[in-house]
Amino acid sequence: MKTFTLEQIAEITGGMLSKTHDVNITRIAPPLLADETTLALALGEDEIANMQNSKAKAALVPLGVNFDNISTIEVERPRLAMMKLITMFYEKPEFNKGIHERAVVHETAKIGQNVSIGANVVIGKNVVIGDNTEIMPNSYIGSGAIIGSNCFFHPSVNIGDNVVVGNSVILHHGVSLGADGFSFVTEAPDNIEKARQNGEITDGNVEQVIFKIPSIGSVIIGNNVEIGANTAIDRGTIENTTIGDNTKIDDLVMIGHNCKIGQGCLIVSQAGIAGSCVIGDRVVIAGQAGLADHIKIGSDSIITAKAGVTKSFAEKSIVVGIPAVPRKEFIKQLKIMKDAGDIIAKFRKYEPLLHSFEEEKV
């Protein structure tokens, strides 16, 4: 069991300690779940109020918050301090060190120092794996793939041929990197092409053979990237699909072929990014947002939840709605709808007078 003194925690979090008890901390928890050896996390108004019913003798709090007879560590950025605390107490999943006897490693693969490979992992030919990387059971690394140093792959990760993964990358359960892109073509223009050109569908009941376009590009993942469970990133058709350094991707995200995702982006669960999109640096794409293919989003933009993005937006845009528009325009639209509702209400109020006037005129 990990144990820390209040002085150690204050130093690590950069907080100011007001000590009333000499407590050794063995865990962290919300105030109502805390006991005498727990550091209570009283970071918001509700948690601060709950401290009066807590058994904790110590708490992490925002600047300026104090309690009678409770040691406090005051911090300027509570959420940042919480991250440091959780990192202190976090323990990675345990599994075998070294290469498990049931792993299948091709004889041409180059395995770095201090690498751990779990049971039922398959490593293809000419794969390169950097030092200190850990691959948990039931994963697959395709031929020619290059995996950097200090990576951690949770169970059942699937990496296609020739995919490149940078250093210090975390891949969660069921991540798929390098499947073929969703790319097809017909001999003659189909309804999708005609609708894009003319804005309408004029022909129907025309059967055509749909030909698959193979994907011969790859996927390039930068350094310090984290990708959530069951997220899929498809390989490029000819060029590579790329994910920039320090980008964090949630569970159940789909990123299509040829996409270029910048550095330091945050992409939240169930977002879908169609093929050939270009996303700048530090872009936030919130949950269930959908981006049409071949659009560009400038750096430092925010795509809000469930936005349906059908066109490109410049840098520092805040994009809202379906179809998505700049936030200021969206608010304007809401005001127009509200005003329209008020006008309709007034009309209905005076509608009998209007009918009376029309009848008198007749």
- Residues assigned a catalytic role: 257
Cα distance between residue 108 and residue 122, in whole Å: 13
CA distances from 126 to 55, 102, 105, 150 (A): 57, 19, 10, 19
- Spatial CB neighbours of 253, under 8 Å, sequence gap ≥ 6: 227, 228, 231, 232, 267, 268, 269, 270, 271, 272, 273
Given a contact cutoff of 8 angstroms between Cβ atoms, the answer to whether 285 and 247 are in contact is no
Distances (CA, A) of 308 to 266, 279, 354, 358: 17, 15, 42, 46
What does DSSP say about strands 110-111 and 24-25: parallel, antiparallel, or unpaired?
Answer: unpaired
Spatial CA neighbour of 243 closest among 227, 262, 258 = 262
Q: CA dihedral defined by 196, 182, 239, 132, rounded to 10 degrees?
A: 140
CA distance 235 to 125: 19
Q: Which residues contact 358 (CB under 8 A, 6 or more apart)?
A: none
CA–centroid distance for 264 within its chain: 11
C-beta separation of 55 from 36 below 8 A: yes
Written as one string, the DSSP assignment of 54-67 is ---SEEEEETT--B
Q: Which residues pair with 326 in a beta bridge?
A: 319
